[in-house]
Structure 1
Amino acid sequence: MSSLLLLLLLLLLLLLSAPASPLEFRYHDNSEMEQYLLHVNASYPDITHLHSIGQSVRGQELWVLVLGRTPTRHTVGIPEFKYIANMHGNEVLGRVLLLQLIDHLVRGYRDNEPWSSRLLNSTRIHILPTMNPDGFDAADTHCLYSQGRFNFNGVDLNRNFPDAFAGRRRAVIGWLRTESFVLSANLHGGALVASYPYDNSNGGSELVGGASVTPDNDVFVHLAKVYSFHHTSMHRGDSCHDSRPFLDGITNGYQWYPLPGGMQDYNYVWSQCLEVTLEVSCCKFPPVQQLPVLWRDNQRALLAFMQQVHLGVKGRVLDSSGVPVQNAVVEVKGRRNLCPFRSDQHGEYYRLLLPGNYTFTVTFPGHEVLTETLSVPYGPERFSALTHDFRLRRAAAPTSGPAPTPGPTLTSSISSASVSLAPVS
C-alpha cells in the first residue's frame, strides 16, 4: 500500500470518528444525549471516560463523562472537578450548556488550543449533564411553572440530601464517596445569580447579618464572583421579573432563602468539596432560538470557574517513614469546619485559599501535631495550586510511669474517624 493511500485512509478514519461539526443548538432528549456522550467517548478515548454512577427511578442511566489526560483514574496532584446540571428536570439550560462545554473542550484539545490543553492536562473534569432524566422527560416548556421539577417519585432532589444542620440521593452520594472532589457547581434555572453556602442554619454563630456564613466565606464569595463577572450580564445584578436584584450577581444561599437538605451544603460539609449553585437563566426552559446566545453568555464563566480548582495549596501528608497517610486532619487556623478537612486515600489534601499567609495544623495518631505557616503567593493562573507536603514526626514514647493501657490500633482509629464522617441517612 502506497504511503499516499495510507494517509488517505487515516484521514477518512479521522473524519468518520470525530464529529464533523459542532453540536447542534437544541434540546437533545435523554436517548440522544446518551448517544452523543458515547460518540464523544469513542472519538476521544485518550482524554475521555464515560461511566454511569447509577440509575434514575425509571431506570435511566446517570451518565458522567470524565475529561483529562488520565480520565479513567485519579492522578496524584491533579484535582478533581465536577459540573452537574438538570437536578430539577424542568430547569433545562444547564444540560445544554454542559453538552456544549464538552464539545468545546474536546474540539479545543483536538485542535491544540492552549487553553484546552492546559486545562485538561492539569485537571480531571467530571460532567453529569442530567441528574434528573425522568423529570426532564416529564417537563413542558413553560418558562417558570412547568412540571418536571421532581423525580419520578415526586422528590425534590435539592431538598433531599442529609442536612448538616439537622443532625438521599444515593447515586450522587455514592459518587462523592468514590472521588475526592475539590470544586464543583450545579446548574439551575429560574434566576440569574451565583449562590454559595450555607443554604441552611441552626441559628448558631454562623448567622452573620442575615447570612449563614461558612469558615471559607472569602473563598466562596470569590468563586461566585468569578462566575458572575465572567458571565456577560450576571454581575450587573439585574433581577428577573419575579426576584430581587443581587449585588454583583451573587448571594449567600441562606440570605436568599433557607434551604434544608441542599446539595451544595452536603458537598462542603461532608465531602470537603466547595460547591456553588449557578442560576443561569431567568427562564427555566428558554426557547430554542435563544440557546446560542445563552451559551455565549456562559462560555467564559464556565471555563474560568473550572480554573479556580487550582486556588490555594495542595500536597500530601506523610508519616515519619515518608508514607502518605489517609485521614490526617488538616486544619487552617481561623477556619473551623463543621467536619474537619482530612487527607484522602492517596494521602492528599487540597485547600482552596486566596493568596495570603495561612497557619496549618496537621494531626495524625501516633505523631506529633505539626504546625506550619505557608504563604500562598498566587491564584489559579498557573493551573496549579502551591504544592506543599506535610512531613510528620512520630511522637516520642513515654520514658517513665506505668505502662500505657492498650488502645485502639491505627487501623481502628482511622475506621472510627471514617464512621464519624459518614452522612446521616
Structure 2
Amino acid sequence: MANFTIVSMVLFFLSLGFKDVSARGDEQSLTIRGFADGETGFWSRNLLLSEDNRFRELEELARGYMTNAELEKSVKEYAQKCRNISRIYSIGTSVKGFPLWVIEISDKPGEEEAEPAFKLLANMHGDEPVGRELLLLLANWLCENYLKDHLATYIVRNIHLHILPTMNPDGFSLRRRGNANNVDLNRDFPDQFFTENNDDNLRQPETKAIMKWMMERKFIASASLHGGALVANYPWDGSEDTRKQYYASPDDKTFRYLASLYSQSHRNMSLSKEFQGGITNGASWYPIYGGMQDWNYIHRGCFELTLEVGDNKWPKAEELPALWKDNKMSLLNLVASVAKSGVHGRILSSKTGLPLPASIKIKDINYTVKAGQRFGDYHRLLAPSQSYDVTAFMPGYESKTTRILLENGAMNLDFVLIPEEEPKDHMDLCNGCQCNCDNKGKLEVMEVFNRNHFQITLALIAISGVLCLIFMGRLRLKLQKRRQLVGHKRTIVA
C-alpha cells in the first residue's frame, strides 16, 4: 500500500511537471539534444502514454489530411499550374529518403535579385500537421490571386518566398513528434549556450538539409509553423543559466514588432489570456536548447519566429478551412513585412560604382547584417516609429553613418563608400640618382617646377573638379536606374 502511494505521488508530480508544455514539449519517449534539470547531454522524457494508442488515435484524425505522396503530387502539380511565378526544388531528403520539397514563388523564380527572401516551413514535428496544409493553401492563394489582389501581387513582385510544407515527413507518417530516428528536430541545431549540441556527426539529415539550405541562400526572415498553442514565439528560446525567464535578443524590439504583426492580424491570437498580446519570448514561456529559431538568427542573419497556429496539435480535417481563415492575413502580412518595413538599400564603391559586400550596423544594437555579394543589397528589419543611426562599413573603405527616422513604412538608404587613402612614400627628388644634390639644389629644382607649371597645375585642378561633379551626378543617376527594390517610400544616398 505504501509503495502504491509513493508511485501515485510520483505520477501526480510528473503530470504537473509536463502540464503546460504540450506545444514545445513532447508526448512520448523521445530523444532530445538539450538541457534537462540542469544537466547536459542526451536525455529522454518518458510520459505514461502508449505510443500504439496514440498512433491509432492520430491515424483516425489523419483522415482528410494529405499523405506524403499526395503532398508531393500537389507540389509538382502546383509547379505546372503556376509555372510563370514559381519553381520547385528539393533541399535534401529525410531519414527514409523522402524529398524535402520547396516551392519558390516570385515574378522571377530561380533568379537572383536585390530583393528580400522569406522562408516558411512547417511540420517540423511530425504530429503537428496543420502547417503543411496551411502553407499549400497559401501558395495556391498567391497563384490564384496574382495580378488580381494587391497584396498577392506585391508579395510576388517584391519578395522571393520559399515554402517548405514538411520538414519531417517521416514523423508525419509515423504519427509522432520526432523523425524516423525519434529525434526532436527542434533540439538538434547548434546552440549558443549548449555547446555539446555542436557535434555535426550526431545531426539528423533533415537538420543538415536546413543548415545547408541556409548557407546557400540569404533569407532575411523566416517562420516555422507549429501546433499545440496559439501564440507567436520569438528569441531567445533559452537563457544562459537555463532558468525560465525573459531573455532578450539584441533585436528584441524588432522581434516583438514582427510577432505582434502576426498576432494582431490573426482573428483571435492577440486576445489570448495566457500570452499578453498573443506573443511570447521563448525562454520566458518554456526554455529549449538546440532550437532552429535561435540558430537562424545567430548564424545566418535570419529573423525567425515560431508560430503556434492552434491549440490543438492535430485537429480534425473539417477544422482546416477555419484555421486557414484565421491565419491567412497573418501569414500574408508577415511575409510582406520584409519589404514593407525596415531599411533597405545597396552599398556601392565611389571609385568603381560597383556593389560592395559590406555590412550594416545600428547604433546600440549588437547585431550586424551583411549585404549581398552580387548586388551589394541589404535588408535590415527594424521596429518602426523610431530613429536609428545606420552605419555601412567594410575593410579598406571609410565607414559612413546616417541618422534616419523610420516611420510606419520602409525606407531606402543607399551608401557610397570611399576607399581609404593608401599611405604615400615620401620620396626624395634625388632618391636613386647618382649625383651629389644639396639642399640648395633641391630648392632650385622646385622653383623651376613651380614657375613653369603653375598655370598648368591650376588648370588641371579645375578640370578635375568639373569631372568629379559630373561623375557624382552620373553615379546618382545610375543608382536610380539600377535600383531593383520597389514599393518603398523614397531613396536616400549617403
Shorter chain as denominator, the TM-score bin is: 0.7 to 0.9
Q: Is the 8 A contact 1:158 1:261 kept in 2?
A: yes
Aligned to 1:349, what secondary structure does the other structure show? strand
Q: Structure 1: give runs of 5+ residues left out of the alignment.
A: 1-24, 140-147, 239-244, 380-384, 403-425
Match of 1:372 among 402, 412, 431: 402
Match of 1:268 among 278, 297, 314: 297
Q: Is the 8 A contact 1:26 1:291 kept in 2?
A: no
| Mapped pair 1:31 → 2:74 | no
Q: Deviations over 1:290-314 (max 9, x none)?
A: 1111111111111111111121111
| Mapped pair 1:108 → 2:148 | no
Question: Aligned equivalents of 2:235 and 2:261: distance in 1?
Answer: 16
Question: Aligned equivalents of 1:86 and 1:179: distance in 2?
Answer: 21
Q: Deviations over 1:110-161 (max 9, x none)?
A: x62222112211111110000000000000xxxxxxxx11111121111111
Match of 1:221 among 245, 256, 260: 256
Q: Is the 8 A contact 1:53 1:171 kept in 2?
A: yes
Q: 1:369 and 1:203, CA in 2 relative to 1: closer, same or farther beyond 3 A?
A: farther
State the Cα RMSD in Å. 2.0
Aligned to 2:190, what secondary structure does the other structure show? coil
- AA partner of residue 171 (structure 1): A
Match of 1:160 among 170, 177, 188: 188
Q: Deviations over 1:171-208 (max 9, x none)?
A: 0111111111111110001111110001122249xx9x
Match of 1:356 among 365, 372, 386: 386
| Mapped pair 1:317 → 2:386 | no
Q: Structure 2: give runs of 5+ residues left out of the alignment.
A: 1-62, 196-202, 428-494
Count matched residues: 351
| 1:400 Cα offset (Å) | 6.1
Structure-2 residue corresponding to 1:329:
359
Structure whose alpha-carbon radius of gyration is higher: 2
| 1:319 Cα offset (Å) | 2.5
Structure-2 residue corresponding to 1:396:
421
Match of 1:286 among 311, 315, 328: 315
Aligned to 2:211, what secondary structure does the other structure show? helix
| 1:226 Cα offset (Å) | 1.1
Structure-2 residue corresponding to 1:84:
121
Q: Deviations over 1:353-410 (max 9, x none)?
A: 123321122221111122222232332xxxxx322221111111234699xxxxxxxx
Same amino acid, percent of matched pairs: 41
Higher helix share: 2
State the TM-score, normalized to the length of structure 2. 0.68
State the TM-score, normalized to the length of structure 1. 0.79
Structure-1 residue corresponding to 2:334:
305
Match of 1:52 among 90, 96, 104: 90
Match of 1:117 among 132, 153, 159: 153
Q: Is the 8 A contact 2:262 2:330 kept in 1?
A: yes
| Mapped pair 1:61 → 2:99 | yes
Q: Deviations over 1:256-289 (max 9, x none)?
A: 1111111111111111111100001111110111
Q: Is the 8 A contact 1:331 1:341 kept in 2?
A: yes
Question: Aligned equivalents of 1:199 and 1:45: distance in 2?
Answer: 38
Q: Is the 8 A contact 2:269 2:277 kept in 1?
A: yes
Structure-1 residue corresponding to 2:489:
none
Question: Aligned equivalents of 1:96 and 1:89: distance in 2?
Answer: 13
Q: 1:392 and 1:166, CA in 2 relative to 1: closer, same or farther beyond 3 A?
A: farther
Q: Deviations over 1:30-55 (max 9, x none)?
A: 11111111111111111011000100
- AA partner of residue 302 (structure 2): C
Q: Is the 8 A contact 1:26 1:96 kept in 2?
A: no
- AA partner of residue 373 (structure 1): R
Equivalences for residues 183-262 of structure 1 within 5 A: 183-203=221-241, 210-238=245-273, 245-262=274-291
Q: Is the 8 A contact 2:239 2:245 kept in 1?
A: no
